[in-house]
Amino acid sequence: MHQAVRTRAGIAMAGTALLVGGLTACGGTKADAGGGKAGGGDAKASSPVEAVKASYLKTVAAKFAKAELSTVGKDGKTSGQSGTKGWYPASHDVVMKGEEPETRSIMMGDLVYTRTDKPVGGKSWMRMNLAKDGKPGIRLNEDPAEYLAMLLGQEKLKHVGAEKTDGIDAQHYKGSLTNEDLLKADESTKVMDEKNRQYLREAVKHVKTFEVDLWIGKDGYPVRVDSVSTDANGTSKTTAKFSDFGAAPAVQPPPADQVIAFENVLKGVDESLAETDQKLKDADDDLKEADKTLRDAGLGGLGGS
């Protein structure tokens, strides 16, 4: 039975590892997202707080964008994501890089679909639900709206100046924030729905410090975010580049007939292991019975005389 337990635990850990590290997004907006002025380009008169708020409102309305992320994790290993990010609700359709083979992941709210290397139960996708007991799974999604939401009302954010980043004209902003700064709520953050603002607060509670460089393009959208995040487990560094705001296709779930639930996979594994355990037990009983028969016949049993 010890082997069976180890096998099941290994399956569970492997399934969990398929998830995107550090998933989720903050919430929606009460304001008319199309009403904000762009914060990038030549908008030098705008304060960083005003520029971020205007960019946030415009970004919220776009709903989806292309994303390229590269992260050096707390363990020093580099990983990446390439594909589409969505927000309100949090979503993505990305290829996860850094491990071989690369893995495609689709997330819609609390449901994460991972494409499997080989079909499982005849299905090509495994689904995991991150919600527990009806409560949403709190996590960060590293989408452009979320990055901007973290910077709403942050007076420590400074305007560096006009720069080109990856050939794009943009305004560069920079800041170093504490956990207290990230949890601060003011009038700027009230453009978010209250439930989504609270969600974001929960998601950043563990972050001790957050250093950020933000570039907002002439069109008002964030084109790049470089961040260094530190918590109790260490420090990670991420470079996130965004494009095609509002032009990227909406994230869609995989075909339902190609999806198997992770809990069903575990159930099948449990049943298979239980059957194997029973067969081993039956075989052991048969050997004991054969040994007894030999000993009764005076032949010394299976272990010899």
CATH label of the domain that carries residue 218: 2.50.20.20
Question: Do the domain assignments include residue 252?
Answer: yes
Q: What is the 3-state secondary structure (H, E, C) of 124-136?
A: EEEEEECCECCEC
Tell me how far apart the alpha carbons of residues 136 and 107 are, in angstroms, rounded to a whole number: 13
Question: Do the domain assignments include residue 281?
Answer: no
* Domains identified in the chain, total number: 1
Question: Do the domain assignments include residue 294?
Answer: no
Please, which residues have CB within 8 angstroms of residue 215's CB and are 6 or more apart in sequence? 40, 163, 165, 168, 170, 171, 172, 173, 222, 223, 224, 225
Question: Do the domain assignments include residue 285?
Answer: no
Residue 79 has pLDDT above 70, yes or no: yes
Q: Mean pLDDT over residues 66-95, rounded?
A: 97
Question: What are 126-150's pLDDT values in tens digits?
Answer: 999 999 888 889 999 999 999 999 9
Question: Do the domain assignments include residue 21?
Answer: yes
Tell me how far apart the alpha carbons of residues 280 and 254 are, in angstroms, rounded to a whole number: 39
At residue 110 the predicted structure's pLDDT band, cuts being 50, 70 and 90, is very high
Residue 304 has pLDDT above 70, yes or no: no
Please, which residues have CB within 8 angstroms of residue 71's CB and are 6 or more apart in sequence? 78, 79, 80, 236, 237, 238, 239
Domain that holds residue 129: 2-263
Question: Do the domain assignments include residue 160?
Answer: yes
Q: Mean pLDDT over residues 188-205, rounded?
A: 87
Number of C-beta neighbours around residue 176 at 10 A:
13
Grouping H, G, I as helix, E, B as strand and the rest as coil, residue 84 is strand
Tell me how far apart the alpha carbons of residues 168 and 245 are, in angstroms, rounded to a whole number: 15
Question: Do the domain assignments include residue 258?
Answer: yes
The pair of structure tokens assigned to 286 is 């048969």
Is residue 37 left, alpha or beta, with left meaning phi > 0 and alpha meaning psi from -120 to 50? beta
Alpha-carbon torsion, ordered 47, 49, 55, 57, to 10 deg: -130
Average pLDDT value over all residues in the chain: 82
Question: Do the domain assignments include residue 303?
Answer: no
